[in-house]
């Protein structure tokens, strides 16, 4: 019996295959990426019972033989916290050690992204977190710009950001990203680059996988942590950079209408880094973006080790 084909090749957008790092980590050991396999019956595959992280790395500008990981300690702490939602205990120090060894083994010579994932690795079919095995896996891939550096065109998604009372949104739980995937595809299918999700109270929450900032009258404003956002590490970095530069930073609920009259808007995240928004729906934003430009320049300097104030954000390997 032949299996019915739901999609043809013509239905699938042609995108370049990711360039994965040669070594992966699975079941407590390093092995070639092409040999790192899990069962099709894996619990997390069916129920979204996983948490993950995302970490940027690049070569030190002054020494290409050295690699810089951005805010590794913060990422390890958040992933350790996220794992607790699954009933899995792993210390930030243990995560840090295996991630550093992972980078040493792979020796990437280009900007890259690390994906550690803690997941229910058992093969049971019951949707539960007790009496099911968990594991840590890690892989990495080359990563350049995630969104257009010239700026993203955004739409308000018809999908709503989940509530923290339904899902642990302070952790990067894989199950939460179904809303992100629906919103992103809806945005791209309707001619935009990215989606902005409202929360259940009708306030601005975040983009599909990025935090959001607006600028109004010289003040930097971002949805507060009680607006069902991910407590983003890049978000935290931007807030620190802004305050150290003398900017007023306000964390509060943001109304949809504010997006249409903002002086500047930008998105930030580990993958996106800092990306300006050029339009929301049919509202174009000013082309002059002094605060966005200043913060983008500052973030890049911090990531590349060119600002001594933020050396503690870097792990050199």
pLDDT at position 7: 52
- Please report which confidence band the pLDDT of residue 191 belongs to, taking 50, 70 and 90 as the band edges: very high
Which CATH number fits the domain 18-142, given the four candidates 3.40.50.300, 3.30.360.10, 3.40.50.720, 3.30.470.10? 3.30.470.10
Share of the chain above pLDDT 90, in %: 89
> Across residues 259-275, what is the average pLDDT?
95
Tokens of 90: 């792993």
82-116 pLDDT per residue, tens: 999 999 999 999 999 999 999 999 999 999 999 99
> Across residues 118-139, what is the average pLDDT?
96
pLDDT at position 13: 55
Average pLDDT, the chain: 94
> Across residues 243-253, what is the average pLDDT?
98
CB 27 within 8 Å of CB 135: yes
* Class in CATH terms, 152-303: alpha beta
Q: What whole-number distance in Å separates Cα of residue 277 and Cα of residue 214?
A: 10
Locate the domains of the chain by residue range: 18-142, 152-303
> Across residues 29-49, what is the average pLDDT?
97
Q: What whole-number distance in Å separates Cα of residue 230 and Cα of residue 210?
A: 8
- Please report which confidence band the pLDDT of residue 6 belongs to, taking 50, 70 and 90 as the band edges: very low
Q: Is the pLDDT of residue 264 over 90?
A: yes
Share of the chain above pLDDT 70, in %: 95
pLDDT at position 194: 97
- pTM, two decimals, is 0.93
pLDDT at position 15: 55
54-92 pLDDT per residue, tens: 999 999 998 888 999 999 999 999 999 999 999 999 999
pLDDT at position 1: 41
> Which residue from 138, 103, 98 is spatially nearest to 117, judged by alpha carbons?
138
196-220 pLDDT per residue, tens: 999 999 999 999 999 999 999 999 9
pLDDT at position 2: 42
pLDDT at position 14: 59
> Across residues 141-149, what is the average pLDDT?
83
Q: Is the pLDDT of residue 310 over 70?
A: yes
pLDDT at position 3: 40
User: Sign of dihedral through CA atoms 28, 30, 33, 35?
Assistant: negative
């Amino acid at each position: 019996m032949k299996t019915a084909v739901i999609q043809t090749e013509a239905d699938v957008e042609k995108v370049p295959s990711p360039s994965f790092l040669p070594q992966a980590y699975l079941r407590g050991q390093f092995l070639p990426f092409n040999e790192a396999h899990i069962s099709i019956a894996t619990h997390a595959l069916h129920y979204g019972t996983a948490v993950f992280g995302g970490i940027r790395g690049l070569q030190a500008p002054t020494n290409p033989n050295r690699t810089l990981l951005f805010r590794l300690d913060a990422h390890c702490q958040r992933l350790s916290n996220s794992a607790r939602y699954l009933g899995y205990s792993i210390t930030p120090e243990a995560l840090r050690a295996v991630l550093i060894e992972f980078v040493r083994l792979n020796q990437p010579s280009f900007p890259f992204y690390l994906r550690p994932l803690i997941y229910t690795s058992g093969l049971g079919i019951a949707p539960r977190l007790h009496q099911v095995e968990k594991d840590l896996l890690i892989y990495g891939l080359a990563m350049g710009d995630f969104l257009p550096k010239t700026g993203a065109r955004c739409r308000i998604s018809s999908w709503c950001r989940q509530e923290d009372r339904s899902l642990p949104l302070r952790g990067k739980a894989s199950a939460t990203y179904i809303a992100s995937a629906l919103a992103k595809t809806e945005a791209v299918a309707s001619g935009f680059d990215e989606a902005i999700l409202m929360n259940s109270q009708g306030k601005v929450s975040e983009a599909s996988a990025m935090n959001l900032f607006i600028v109004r009258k010289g003040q930097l404003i971002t949805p507060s942590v009680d607006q069902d956002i991910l407590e983003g590490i890049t978000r935290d970095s931007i807030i620190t950079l802004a305050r150290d530069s003398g900017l007023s930073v306000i964390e509060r609920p943001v109304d949809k209408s504010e997006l249409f009259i903002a002086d500047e808007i930008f998105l930030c995240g580990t993958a996106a880094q800092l990306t300006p928004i050029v339009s929301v729906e049919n509202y174009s934003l000013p082309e002059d973006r002094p605060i966005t430009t200043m913060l983008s320049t500052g973030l890049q300097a911090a990531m590349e080790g060119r600002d001594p104030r933020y050396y503690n954000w870097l792990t050199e390997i």
